[in-house]
Chains A and B, each alone.
Chain A
Amino acid sequence: MTTLDDIIGRSQDNSLFARIRSHQVFWVFTAAVLACLALTLLTDTFATDRNLFNVARNFAFVAIIAIGMTAVIASGGIDLSVGSSVVLSAMVISVAMSSGLPFWFSAILALGAALSVGLVNGILVAYAGMPAFVVTLGTLSAARSLAMVLSDNKMIWEFGPDHDVLLWIGGGSTFGLPHPLFVVIALTIVMSLVFKWTRWGQHLFAIGGNENAAVLTGIPVKRLKVSIYMFSAFTAGLAGILMAGWLGSVTTNLGQAMELTVIAAAVIGGANLAGGEGTALGAIVGALLIEVIRNSLILLGISTFWQGMFIGTFIIVAVAFDRFRNFRK
């Protein structure tokens, strides 16, 4: 005889493994690990310090922005302007630094420029009620154009008195790990906690799940949406600064089409474009998988023209997989 208390108190998933298995991240992570293992066996170039260092650094930029993108997607929106926010941020910091300003002040200016793109996106989406796709498509075009105006479409490779600081921050390493990777790890930990344990995080997922319900329960949906787009732009701005330091030079085609890779990473990592689902960990695992695929094709000597085919297939497989799993239930 089970009492009401037993039923109410019973947890839905009994074993820890069953719970882990139900996440898309788990399967994507498994795929990434399998790919790494296969590459270690098939090539003698993959598991070298140099190559792993490069993989870790290359995926970091996409991963940072994918976390911001996950927030936007989980709230039921989309942000196509991140690639342009990257170049705007990178261009602002290079122009500011080459005019003699110190790194920290220039970094604040760069983040401010990116945040204002996010602010515009957020206000137009939340208060003017315009579709996120269209608004961010507009700012995608506008922000890159601003970067061109700012730099007169020239390459910048001299960053004034703090030149070495910028290069160290974006391209240096500590304890053998590239600096952007530290940013990824910190951001993942912080945002995993924020998504789960703060009202901001919970309300973000509530908006993505049922925006009407969120409005009726008195959640400040509009203000929250603005902050979500600003967060996404912030991650893009951060990546822009790091990329400027890594590359040592900034051109206006930096971050071109990056938004598509970022969205791919978020979606492969379990973010649901219908809203309401996504994790920070998923975003970085998705970004990691894309980079491992890219890297492996190069190491295996397969033409880079095939990259898009592999990544595209994986996006569709990841989403199809999720569909079938829900369908079975």
Chain B
Amino acid sequence: MPRLSIKGISKNFGAIQALSNVSLSIEPGEVLGLMGDNGAGKSTLVKIIAGNFQPSTGQLAVDDTKVVFHKPLDAQREGIEMVYQDLALSDNLSAASNVFLGREPLKRLGPFTYIDYSSMNRVSAELFKQLKSETRPRDKVRKMSGGQRQAVAIARTLLSEPKIVMMDEPTAAISVRQVAEVLDLIRRLSDRGISVILISHRMPDIFSVANTIAVLRRGQLVCSKRADQSSPEEVTGLITGAIETA
């Protein structure tokens, strides 16, 4: 049973056809590498899955149940979480505060309620440990490396026990060592049975973590196959249009 299936999704903005008749499915724990040139429709597809846009035609199903998302919160309720490219972190707050931002646990003391920092730090430390990331819950995010920031953003999605995590260019603009760290984080998610949709321009990253590769070109899905049956050369050809379909 696929975790998420997309059937015949099309999306047009006025006269512009951003996506036409895209069908995909992703299994639990599967890592799907979504590739394509700028403007190929990757962001549109991801935003439809995340509930930011509604498709013009087509259907989404989570665990074989048809779903309709009117807003991002609807998608989150179905266990779909998005890690944004700019990570959406507040630099001036601690890692734990960022993980729990907007969902801080409260404790009671007589008539007052206050934020339960000790449980926030404990749970965050636990999440970082699961992600095998050397991130300290009390540290300010400002002082963190790209890999640690990514861990904070991913830990935030884990709080809600997600089924699917989508990541937009998580390895852009970080150092080589941190890229390895982020790819490890993705493997941890997959180990826990969480499906990952990974958007990236970096071919080596995709081939090192993805089970399946999907390529979009001008709004059309031109390839969806197992990573071990494809090659960077083939994918490059598909992205540029040198190879029609595969």
Contact = CB atoms under 8 A, between A and B. Distances in A.
Contacts of A12: 136, 138-139, 143
A202 B129 contact: no
Interface in A176-207: 193, 197-199, 202-203, 205-206
Interface string A199-227: 10011011011101110111100000000
A212 B88 contact: yes
A197 B90 contact: no
Given A8-B125, A209-B93, A219 B102 contact: yes
A276 B92 contact: yes
A212 B101 CA distance: 12
Contacts of B73: 218
A309 interface: no
Given A7-B136, A206-B101, A213-B101, A198 B114 contact: yes
A303 interface: no
A323 interface: no
A11 interface: yes
B86 interface: yes
A44 interface: no
Chain A interface, >50% SS class: helix
A205 B94 CA distance: 11
Most buried by A among B84, B92, B128: B92
A328 interface: no
Interface residues of A, number: 29
Contacts of A8: 125, 128-129, 134-137
Contacts of A9: 125, 136
Contacts, number: 80
A210 B102 contact: no
Interface of B is mostly: loop
Contact of A202 (B93, B137, B139): B93
Contacts of B103: 217
Interface string A10-43: 1110000000000000000000000000000000
A213 B136 contact: no
Given A12-B139, A197-B114, A210 B90 contact: yes
A214 B101 contact: yes
A217 B136 contact: no
A259 interface: no
A291 interface: no
Interface residues of B, number: 31
Interface in B107-143: 113-115, 125, 128-129, 132, 134-139, 143
Contacts of A217: 88, 101-103, 156
A1 interface: no
A208 B91 CA distance: 10
A152 interface: no
Contacts of B136: 7-12
A5 interface: yes
A120 B223 CA distance: 55
A197 B112 CA distance: 10
Nearest to A193: B114
Nearest to A7: B134
B214 to A, nearest CB: 25
Contacts of A218: 73, 102
B10 interface: no
B104 interface: yes
A277 B92 contact: yes
Given A5-B129, A12-B139, A214 B90 contact: yes
A4 interface: yes
Interface of B: 73, 84, 86-93, 97, 101-104, 106, 113-115, 125, 128-129, 132, 134-139, 143, 156
6 contacts: A205-B92, A206-B97, A209-B90, A216-B84, A217-B156, A276-B90
Interface of A: 4-5, 7-12, 193, 197-199, 202-203, 205-206, 208-210, 212-214, 216-219, 276-277, 329
